[in-house]
A and B are shown apart, each in its own frame.
Chain A
Amino acid sequence: MKKDSLLYTVIISVVFAFLFVFLLSLAYGATKGKVEENQKLIEARAYLVAAGIAVDDDMDIEASFNSSFPNFDTESAYQTTTVNGKSVIVSPFQGNGLWGTITGVIGLTSDLKRIVGFEIVSHVETPGLGGRIDEAWFKKQFKGENAANGIVVKHGGGSGDTDPDNGEVDGITGASRTSDSVQVIVNQQIEFLKSELGGTK
Chain B
Amino acid sequence: MNEDSPVQILKNNIWYSNPIFIQILGICSTLAVTNNLSNTFIMTVGLMFVAAFTNITVSLLKNIIPRKVRMILQTLIIAFYVIIVDILLRAYLPEISKSLGPYVGLIITNCIIMGRAEAFAQSHGPIISAWDGITSGLGYMWVLLVIAFVRELMGFGTLFGITVLPAGFTHWTIMVMAPSAFFLLGTFIWIAKTIILKQEAK
Binding site for B on A (CB under 8 A): 3-4, 8-9, 12-13, 16-17, 20, 23-24, 27-28, 31, 34-35, 38, 41-42, 99, 122-129, 131, 134, 173-174
Q: What is the bound-complex CA distance between A31 and B93, given in angstroms?
A: 12
Most buried by B among A17, A20, A41, A129: A20
- Contact call B91/A4, Cβ cutoff below 8 A: no
| Complex A-B, nearest 4 residue pairs according to Cβ-Cβ distance, in ascending order | A31-B91, A38-B94, A34-B91, A128-B35
Contacts A28-B87, A34-B91, A131-B101; is A4 near B67 (CB within 8 Å)? yes
**43-83 of chain B: CB within 8 A of chain A:** 64-69, 72-73, 76-77, 80, 83
24 contacts between A and B (CB under 8 A): A3-B66, A4-B68, A12-B64, A20-B76, A20-B77, A20-B80, A23-B80, A24-B83, A24-B84, A24-B87, A27-B83, A31-B88, A38-B94, A122-B98, A124-B101, A127-B99, A127-B100, A127-B103, A128-B32, A129-B176, A129-B177, A134-B99, A173-B173, A174-B173
The answer to whether the Cβ of B193 comes within 8 Å of any Cβ in the partner chain is no
Q: Which chain A residues border B69 with CB–CB below 8 Å?
A: 9, 12-13
CB distance from B109 to the nearest CB of A (A): 15
Q: Chain B nearest CB: distance from A166 CB in Å?
A: 23
A124 to B177, CA, bound (A): 17
Complex alpha-carbon distance, A126 and B102, angstroms = 8
Q: Do B102 and A124 touch (CB < 8 A)? A: yes
CA distance A28 to B80 in the complex (A): 12
Further 12 A-B residue pairs, CB within 8 A, beyond A27-B84, A128-B32: A3-B66, A9-B68, A16-B65, A17-B76, A24-B83, A27-B83, A31-B91, A35-B94, A124-B102, A129-B176, A134-B98, A173-B177
CA distance A47 to B177 in the complex (A): 32
Contact A16 B76 (CB under 8 A): yes
CB of B39 within 8 A of chain A?
Answer: yes
Chain B count of residues within 8 A CB distance of the other chain? 33
Q: Please measure, in the bound complex, the distance between the C-alpha atom of A123 and the C-alpha atom of B102, giving whole angstroms.
A: 10
Bound state CA distance, A68 and B88, in angstroms? Answer: 32
Residues of B within 8 A of A34 (CB): 91-92
**Which residue of chain A is the closest to B40 with respect to CB atoms?**
A128
Residue from B39, B77, B80 within 8 A of A127 (CB atoms): B39
| Interchain CB contact under 8 A, A24 and B80 | yes
Interface residues of B in 8-50 (CB under 8 A from A): 32-33, 35-36, 39
Q: Which residues of chain A are near B101, meaning CB under 8 Å?
A: 123-125, 127, 131
Q: A9-B69, A23-B80 are in contact. Are A38 and B91 (CB under 8 A)?
A: yes
Q: Is there an interface contact between A174 and B33, defined as CB atoms closer than 8 Å?
A: no
Residues in B whose Cβ lies below 8 Å from that of A42 = 94, 98
CB-CB under 8 A from B177, the residues of chain A are 129, 173-174
Q: Point out the residues of chain B lying under 8 angstroms from A9, CB to CB.
A: 66, 68-69
Return chain A residues, CB-CB under 8 Å to B32: 126-128
Judging by beta carbons under 8 Å apart, are B36 and A128 in contact?
Answer: yes
- Chain B CB within 10 Å, residue with most, of A42, A127, A128: A128
Contacts of A99 in B (CB 8 A): 102
Which chain A residue has the least Cβ–Cβ distance from B39? A127
Assess whether B66 is in contact with A8, with CB atoms less than 8 Å apart: yes
